Amino acid sequence: MELLLHPQSRLRYQKMVAEPPQSILLVAPEGSGKETLVMALAADVLGDHTAGRLFTLEPLEDKKTIGIEQIRDLKVALRLKSNLHRVVAIPHAELLTADAQNSFLKLLEEPPKDVHFFMAVTKLGDVLETVQSRTVVWRLTPPTKQQLIDYFADKPEAAKAKAIAIGQARVGLISALIDNDQNHELLHAIDIAKEVLGENHFERLIRVDALSKDAPQARLLLEALELICKAALESAASKNNHTIKQWHKRLTLVTQAEERLVLNVQSKLVLSHLFMRI
């Protein structure tokens, strides 16, 4: 399937295929299709012959993070010389441990000949500043609403309209919403977020202990709450509905909570405060 890219993003993509940078850090919201984009770019740079030239780093089957051992194995694999382009793809670079990032930094500083590093994160702060400074940062421009409508032209109108409203130009999420793909992590988080908004304070606070011990899930849930609040606020504004203030307040509380988590404020306090007021 053809990539759906804003004209500016498509132009930049084509330039990178023609002249691949040594390292790229793609920054785009959860559900934007970052993994699809990074892997497509790698395939276009390498052409039809990817065997032995494409190295993809993901957590091992029994792990949730990418550890330093995998970086060591990668360094060994890259010692073999080649006159052709080789690509290291890390679609979820936020999963690199701090030790793995520090070890990976040496590869970025002294890359083997014709090796390119294509990474993606949700937020720039998901990787160390030293890693950021040695990459070309690509902040993805989202596609326009008309592009989305045209791209999903063959989908049912009602489902498409609802998905575009909630998805906020995130192609992967919109596709999952239309197809009701329950394997999509953010879609699952949206379902939980809807439950949270319908619960009383006591029911919400029961969730806090588990969430405070699982930072990725807590962040994903806040992302889902933000999407729901934005969609509801836009809908209320278009209808001049009296719930505008309520949804604006909820959106403000959610974004404040996200900012506090980024600043490493204790997650249990952040979530408790949010769930009592939202």
- Read off the pLDDT of residues 83-92 as tens digits, 9 standing for 90 and up: 889 999 999 9
21: containing domain: 7-139
State pTM to two decimals: 0.85
Specify whether 95 is located in the same domain as 189.
Answer: no
88 SS3 class: strand
Strands 86-90 and 54-56 come out as: parallel
Specify whether 129 is located in the same domain as 205.
Answer: no
Mean pLDDT over 84-102 rounds to: 95
CATH number at residue 111: 3.40.50.300
Specify whether 13 is located in the same domain as 124.
Answer: yes
Specify whether 96 is located in the same domain as 197.
Answer: no
**263 is a domain residue:** yes
Q: How many structural domains are present in the chain?
A: 2
- Read off the pLDDT of residues 1-14 as tens digits, 9 standing for 90 and up: 689 999 999 999 99
- CA neighbor of 117 nearest in space, from 98, 135, 99: 135
Burial of 242 (C-beta count, 10 Å sphere; 0-12/13-18/19+):
exposed
Specify whether 130 is located in the same domain as 231.
Answer: no
Specify whether 128 is located in the same domain as 19.
Answer: yes
- Read off the pLDDT of residues 105-157 as tens digits, 9 standing for 90 and up: 999 999 988 999 999 999 998 999 999 999 999 999 999 999 999 999 999 99
Phi, psi of 123 (to 5 degrees): -130, 145
DSSP 66: B
- Read off the pLDDT of residues 188-208 as tens digits, 9 standing for 90 and up: 999 999 999 999 999 999 999
Q: How far apart are CA 188 and CA 175, in angstroms?
A: 14
Mean pLDDT, the chain, whole residue set: 93
**159 is a domain residue:** no
Q: What count of Cα atoms within 13 Å lies in the side-chain half-sphere of residue 55?
A: 17
Give the H or E element holding residue 193: helix 185-197
**166 is a domain residue:** no
**174 is a domain residue:** no
Specify whether 24 is located in the same domain as 100.
Answer: yes
